[in-house]
Amino acid sequence: MSGPGGDQPRLVRAPARPSDLLVRGAHVLDPRTGLDGVHDVFVRDGTIAEISAPGSIAPPRDVETVDGSGRHLFAAFVDPHVHLRTPGQEHKEDLETGTRSAAAGGYCAIVGMPNTSPTIDSAPILGALLDAAAREARVPVGFMAAITRGLRGEELTEMAELRALGAAGFTDDGRPVVDAGVFRRALQYQRLAGGVLALHEEDPALSGKGAMHEGAVSTELGVAGIPSVSESAMIARDCALAQYEDARIHIQHLSARESVDVIATAKARGVQVTCEASPHHLTMTDEDVRGLDTRRKMNPPLRSEADRQALIEGLRSGVIDCIATDHAPHARDEKEVPFEQAPMGTTGLETAFAAVHTDLVVPGHLPLALVVEKMTAGLGLIDLLVPTIATGEPANLVLVDLAAEWVVGESGYESRSENCCFAGRTLRGKVLLTVAGGAVAYRERSIMLSAA
């Protein structure tokens, strides 16, 4: 679905020299192409030039060769849901640090949310941001624009103009579109403007002053709770409206088991709805909030074990389409306050794969191929990029050592902020090299240049 000019969302990055690279002997895994075995992958001028049996490609003298033996090579990850805090909150993150963080996490493309200061709700602001990204972004980055001006939930933004300029979609992320009438008009207007509506779902009247999942733990801690039904009831409403208007919606950061049920039912009815789950909701619960560590305060909150299991099952069954981080940096002093006062959000780009791998793949709850598929699917849902390992495709690759263990935060973060909910945990699986849009975007220290 696109606008009158067939407008396409834009991904932009700072100029980067296309790479020449030979990854030798890595276990190449791409569920989309069926690749699942040891191969050499040769990248020439930023494009995958050859995939062949190990040792069959003689390393050209001018090409960097990376030893992939014992390591895995995937299509690099994509994230349709990150907060780059630019413009206006560059003390938390900026385009350079945010995309550097993405590259370190194995991402080849990400999409920033518009709840910045000012809000990305007009063409000049989006245009300026795209220009800045074209100077600063280490990996290709797109931006969603707001559904309503100032995220106030009242008047629609100039969605057609924003889309024509390259908006990756529309969202009031951070807030729901509370007024069903306003939301319905946004759905109708999609027929002109195109672009998926990505939705942060909760009913503020039910969430109230809640700061964590409502349940036995919140009761014990005396912290006001956010009930699961605050999310699932809103999703049910929006699926009904999307079906009525024959529009396309994407539900962000699913957290509750009831929400998985609602979306499963909606999909079965033919509603054009996709959804995402975040690594922290897949690996942690409200029990992890007992210490009132503000890095574990996010919205939606970490919920119960039954909710977590439902999300995992949702990935297995296909109800949940992708894994997205909701990377939400906050400065140290903003988080060093009592839990109830702290802003919501955790960083996530640098830990996403390792956390899911450690907690879900290593113990055998999910197959590795499924996790790779879900971590590379998010941008396809909004008409952007599905990275693929195939000859002739642009090189979007991530080389991972699945056996390597590391302690989160021990060597700092690429992100400007350090509010990571996994801080201090030992994770298995380390990103060694990221190629994004044909250019090397990240190299772990151990990956050295071996060619001139």
Q: State which residue, 80 or 225, has the beta carbon closest to other proteins.
A: 225
> H or E segment at 187?
helix 180-193
- State which of residues 53, 337, 390, 407 lies at the interface with other proteins (CB under 8 A): 337
- Identify which of residues 115 and 207 has a Cβ nearer to other proteins in the complex: 207
Nearest to other proteins of 71, 335 (CB atom): 335
Residues 69/386, Cβ–Cβ less than 8 Å: no
229 binds other proteins (CB under 8 A): no
Residue from 128, 180, 216, 449 touching other proteins (CB under 8 A): that is 216
Q: Which stretch binds other proteins (CB under 8 A): 31-39, 75-83, 151-159, 211-219?
A: 211-219
> In this structure, are residues 322 and 378 in contact, taking their beta carbons and an 8 Å threshold?
yes
Identity of the residue, 135 or 332, whose beta carbon is nearer to other proteins in the bound complex: 332
Size of the site for other proteins (CB under 8 A): 21
Q: Which residues pair with 394 in a beta bridge?
A: 47
Please compute, for residue 415, the number of CA atoms within 13 A of its CA located in the half-sphere on the CB side.
Answer: 26
Complex with other proteins: residue 155 or 336, whichever CB lies closer: 336
**C-beta pairs of 421-427 under 8 Å, 24+ apart in sequence:** 421/280, 421/284, 421/288, 421/293, 421/295, 421/296, 421/298, 421/346, 421/348, 422/280, 422/351, 422/355, 423/295, 425/355, 425/358, 427/351, 427/354, 427/355, 427/357, 427/358
Of these residues, 286, 307, 326, 359, which one is catalytic? 326
Q: CB of 166: closest distance to other proteins in angstroms? A: 40
Closest CA to 161 of 172, 146, 174: 146
- Is 326 labeled as catalytic in the residue annotation? yes
Residue 194 pairs with which residues in a beta bridge? 2
Rounded Cα distance, 142 and 447, in Å: 28
340 is a contact residue toward other proteins (CB under 8 A): yes
- DSSP structure class, residue 122: S
- Residue 62 binding other proteins, by CB under 8 A: no
Pick from 42, 39, 37, 46: nearest CA to 15: 46
Residue with tokens 């040792």: 55
Instruction: Kindly tell me which residue out of 35, 95, 141, 221 binds other proteins, with binding defined by CB under 8 A.
Output: 221
DSSP annotation of 430 reads E
Q: Which is nearer to other proteins, 289 or 349 (CB)?
A: 289
Extract the tokens encoding 200.
């942060």
Burial track 69-85 (b if 16+ CB lie within 10 A, e otherwise): eebbbbbbbbbbbbbbb
Binding part of the chain for other proteins, among 75-83, 213-221, 255-263, 265-273 by CB under 8 A, reads: 213-221
Q: How far is the CB of 292 from other proteins (least distance, A)?
A: 4
Helix or strand holding residue 273 (H, E): strand 272-277
Give min distance, CB of 187 to other proteins, in A.
33
- Among 70, 336, 390, 450, which residue interacts with other proteins (rule: CB under 8 A)? 336
Instruction: Considering only the stretches 63-71, 89-97, 216-224, 398-406, report the one whose residues sit in contact with other proteins under the rule CB under 8 A.
Output: 216-224
CB of 87 to other proteins, least distance (A): 24
| Choice from 99, 101, 218, 299 touching other proteins (CB under 8 A) | 218
Q: How far apart are the first and last CA of the chain?
A: 47
Q: Does 339 bind other proteins (CB under 8 A)?
A: yes
Decide if residue 219 touches other proteins (CB under 8 A). yes
Please tell me the distance from the alpha carbon of residue 427 to that of residue 46, in angstroms, as a whole number. Answer: 31
Q: Which of 5, 70, 338, 424 binds other proteins (CB under 8 A)?
A: 338
Indicate which single residue of 333, 364, 410, 445 sits in contact with other proteins (rule: CB under 8 A): 333
Among 49, 178, 206, 292, binds other proteins (CB under 8 A): 292
| DSSP codes, 342-399 | SPP--B-TTTHHHHHIIIIITTTSS-HHHHHHHHS-TTGGGTS------TTSB--EEE
Helix (H, G, I), strand (E, B) or coil at 6: coil
- Residue 306 binding other proteins, by CB under 8 A: no
* From 38, 224, 240, 362, residue interacting with other proteins (rule: CB under 8 A): 224
Of 63 and 229, the one with the shorter C-beta distance to other proteins is 229
The verdict on 302 binding other proteins (CB under 8 A) reads: no
CA atoms within 13 A on the CB side of 77: 35
Exactly one of 222, 363, 364, 392 binds other proteins (CB under 8 A); that residue is 222
Per CB under 8 A, residues contacting other proteins are 214-225, 227, 292, 333, 336-341
Known catalytic residues are 326
